[in-house]
């Protein structure tokens, strides 16, 4: 007799899946935690038979792959169908086309490559973006304008702008705020610095004392003041003038010979032994 056909599946998918899971669990009871190759192979075969019936594993994998490829094709077709239509670009007279981002390149449709007269640099669009009404570019400039790039004149200018009005309202004192000096000496002072001693209500001065010199400027001055021995000799030699005889080996030997002759002449004089 031919084998009986399996009974048609009843119920929804979730119910069928639960039934299959229950059958697999019953048939592989006590085997799931065992690591032997035979047990694992048996579990795999049982799972496949219950889920796919007589269908081979290769066929099941092929069906999965086919479904994925069909979905991908469908998605590609939709993208192609709804691809935005790009109008031909025009630029105003006197504008360099290379300063304008290619609209076709932006949509991934430009086929001209390097021959395209428009720019293919995506950062170009960011450079040409409209200014945001919610962002003050001056704040960004102030954040970049740090004390590292300031000289003494610039530092005084910032201090006057930042604390000038508040300083006028304070009680008169000549004591400079220690937090203020510490921030300047350690290069922490800037447009957004706030005094830990009470902000603008701090009772001490937020202004540089007369004759104040930054540490980095002091180091520069000390470096400039240091003169090497060679430079000192050359400076002294230059100060002697042009008419002075330069000391060389020849002039030194001639000077030595002359001195010896003078010494001999003194000794030959009557009473020369007393000199």
Q: Is 118 exposed, middle or buried (0-12, 13-18, 19+ CB in 10 A)?
A: buried
Q: Please return the burial class of 23, using the count of CB atoms within 10 Å of its CB with bins 0-12, 13-18 and 19+.
A: middle
31 vs 29: CA distance, rounded Å: 6
pTM of the predicted protein model: 0.26
pLDDT of residue 220: 63
Whether the pLDDT of residue 11 is over 60: the answer is no
* CB proximity list for 33: less than 8 A, separation 6 or greater: none
- The domain locations on the chain are 15-56, 98-127, 138-221
Condensed to tens digits (0 to 9), the pLDDT of residues 133-182 reads 444 455 566 666 777 777 777 877 877 777 666 665 555 677 888 888 88
Q: For residue 189, how many other CB atoms are within 10 A of its CB?
A: 22
Q: What is the pLDDT of residues 78-99, one digit of tens each?
A: 766 666 666 677 777 777 888 7
Identify the CA nearest to 217 among candidates 164, 174, 159, 155. Answer: 155
pLDDT(183) > 80 = yes
Alpha-carbon dihedral angle through residues 233, 234, 238, 240, given to the nearest 10 degrees: 20
């Amino acid at each position: 007799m031919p084998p009986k056909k399996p009974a048609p599946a009843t119920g929804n998918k979730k119910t069928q899946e639960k039934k299959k899971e229950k059958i697999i669990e019953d048939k592989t009871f006590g085997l799931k935690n065992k690591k032997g190759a035979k047990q694992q192979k048996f579990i795999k075969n049982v799972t496949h038979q219950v889920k796919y019936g007589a269908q081979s594993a290769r066929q099941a994998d092929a069906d999965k792959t086919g479904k994925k490829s069909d979905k991908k094709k469908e998605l590609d077709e939709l993208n192609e169908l709804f691809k935005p239509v790009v109008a031909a670009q025009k630029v105003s007279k006197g504008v360099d086309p290379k300063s304008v981002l290619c609209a076709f390149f932006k949509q991934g449709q430009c086929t001209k490559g390097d021959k395209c007269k428009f720019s293919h640099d995506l950062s170009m669009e960011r450079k040409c973006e409209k200014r945001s009404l919610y962002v003050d570019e001056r704040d960004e400039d102030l954040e970049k304008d740090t004390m590292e790039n300031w000289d003494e004149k610039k530092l005084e200018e910032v201090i006057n702008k930042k604390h000038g009005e508040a300083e006028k309202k304070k009680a008169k004192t000549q004591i400079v705020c220690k937090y203020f000096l510490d921030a300047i000496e350690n290069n922490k002072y800037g447009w957004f610095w706030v005094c830990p001693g009470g902000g603008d209500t701090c009772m001490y001065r937020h202004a540089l004392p007369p004759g104040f010199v930054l540490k980095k400027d002091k180091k520069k001055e000390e470096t400039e003041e240091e003169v090497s021995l060679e430079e000192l000799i050359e400076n002294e030699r230059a100060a002697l003038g042009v008419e002075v005889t330069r000391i060389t080996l020849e002039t030194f030997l001639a000077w030595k010979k002359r001195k010896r002759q003078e010494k001999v002449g003194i000794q030959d004089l009557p009473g020369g032994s007393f000199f």
